[in-house]
Amino acid sequence: MRVRLMPPASPMLPGAYDFARAAWFKGLTATGSLIGEIEVIEPAPANSGLSVLQRSLAGHVRANVDGGAGTIAAAFASGDRGAISQADEEALRDAGLTHLLAISGLHVSAVIAGAYLVVLKLLALFPALALRVRLPVLAAAAGAFAGISYTLLTGAQVPTVRACVAAMLVLGALALGRDALSLRMVAAAAIVVMLLWPESVIGPSFQMSFSAVLAIVALHSSRPVKAFLAPREEKWWHRLGRNTAMLFLTGLVIEIALMPIVMFHFHRAGLYGALANVIAIPLVTFIAMPLIALGLALDLFGLVAPVWWLVELSLEGLLGLAHFTSAQPGAVKLMPQMSGLTIALFVAGGLWLALWSGRARLLALAPIGLATFLLIATPIPDVLIGREGRHVGITVTQPDGSRSLLSLRDSRSSYSRDNLLELASVTSDPIPLSEWPGAQCSTEFCLIDIKRGDRDWTLLLARNRNLIEERALAAACDRADIVVADRFLPRSCQPRWLRADRRFLSKSGGLALDLEAETIASVASRQGDHGWWKGWD
């Protein structure tokens, strides 16, 4: 048995996921791959505590609910997402429903609200107790116990802790008779999370969680919404209509608030997410999760729980909605990596819009409008070069006007392929460079000419590490503008604009080239002097 250890990988391209930074804060110093059979030298100690309960609970739920619905139900009950199929996860992502899988505000709120209401209604059945004790205090204590237990059971991830802290503040406000939804509550929860995990501030989980909560609180605290939701004498279907309209508006506002952050981190946005969430959120909150809780409660008493069939039916509906939405034309919009200025303008405008009041809050439209213009004007990279020089993508325009990506290597790695496609804003499968009519490929190199701006660019790309006679290589480099290789090139290789070989890329990391503007964006330029960045070589 052989083990190969490597430092945690830096981003493959500028704007890609930074696993090295995440590993740094998790205390991981290396990743490894195993060759050969595993030999057990000493059995691991038996697990105990919450991890055993979590796995047991997930297995129990999957045993009662079949198929993809069972894996989703297990994720809601225990936070275990490992069994969800890739097809279901991609459909939920493209439909804007991935947040339902991350145990956060929606799930914690449902658990706490359910416990609060059940205890409150049960205790109200005893007049002697109701006349002597403030029932909201006891109900809040029960809700807090349920929320903390659920947070610990599902792994206590940052979004879950954030939601639990916010929910504790809401319960405290309810017990004291104060306004439960306030910006002070959001600020207090953010301070707690930043004290515990300060590095989470730059991650998508923290930003998306607090953006969504801030949008909800700001929307429901506004005068027009308060007037729209104010109690009045009306028929029940009128009240249901107002609440349904408010639910749709809330989903739409959340989608708008999250879209810049999603595009900054993941370079994609689900265009139909608001519509899908209007159906999915009530389905999960008011049907699926209460049914899962009821099924588990009945199982404790050894009762046959027909509710598991209803759980399966509701979550099959959720997956059906995700697959239908993601399959629609234009369901996903890919965008190139936006600049730091663009996302800063979006954040500044969003905060002004949420924190200010009156007509002055409309001033936020200025930075948001400017950020939107900058986002639309963001150029798509012409050439993408992976951190090792092995994976190269070139964006080209087809005769019908559609954009495609030429790939130097037909990689089996979905990670490399997805990174190239996302940062090139291309949804179709990459085309092997050797099959492109304008490319000339041998076993060692590929040569291609592309026109950008007012000039033609000649690219010479190495396909392997085979040794080439130096004079022939130097002559080829002289005729090229850009040379890319995943090995060291001799100094005699001097292209006209850029030589991205192993020596250069070990210091720069992955590259994104804008040939018309003649600019180079590198991973190293975004890293700074931090412990998790030492290059990849």
Percent of the chain surpassing pLDDT 70: 94
Whether 537 has a pLDDT exceeding 70, the answer reads: no
83-100 residue pLDDT tens: 888 888 888 888 878 777
What mean pLDDT is predicted for residues 220-238? 83
241-292 residue pLDDT tens: 888 888 778 878 887 888 898 888 888 777 777 778 778 888 888 888 888 8
17-72 residue pLDDT tens: 888 888 888 888 888 777 777 777 877 776 656 677 778 888 888 888 888 888 89
Q: Is the pTM of this model over 0.95?
A: no
297-313 residue pLDDT tens: 888 777 766 888 899 99
Whether 384 has a pLDDT exceeding 90, the answer reads: yes
The top-scoring range by mean pLDDT among 45-49, 152-156, 511-515 is 511-515
Cα–Cα distance measured from residue 457 to residue 515, given in angstroms and rounded to the nearest whole number: 8
User: Among the listed ranges 340-354, 368-382, 388-402, which one has the minimum average pLDDT value?
Assistant: 388-402
* CA angle centred on 99, ends 272 and 332, rounded to 5°: 30
What mean pLDDT is predicted for residues 11-21? 88
* CA angle centred on 335, ends 218 and 526, rounded to 5°: 85
Angle of helix 67-78 versus helix 307-326 axis, rounded to 10: 100
Sheet of 431-432: strand order equals 431-432, 403-407, 392-397, 383-385, 511-514, 519-522
Cα–Cα distance measured from residue 291 to residue 370, given in angstroms and rounded to the nearest whole number: 46
**HEC letters along 289-357:** HHHHHHHHHHHHCCCCCCHHHHHHHHHHHHHHHHHHHHCCCCCEEECCCCCHHHHHHHHHHHHHHHHCC
Residue for token pair 């909800």 = 216
* Burial letters 3-12, b for 16+ CB under 10 A, else e: eeeebbbbbb
Contact 186, 206 (CB under 8 A): no
Cα–Cα distance measured from residue 275 to residue 436, given in angstroms and rounded to the nearest whole number: 40
* Greater model confidence, 500 or 202: 500
Phi, psi of 39 (to 5 degrees): -110, 120
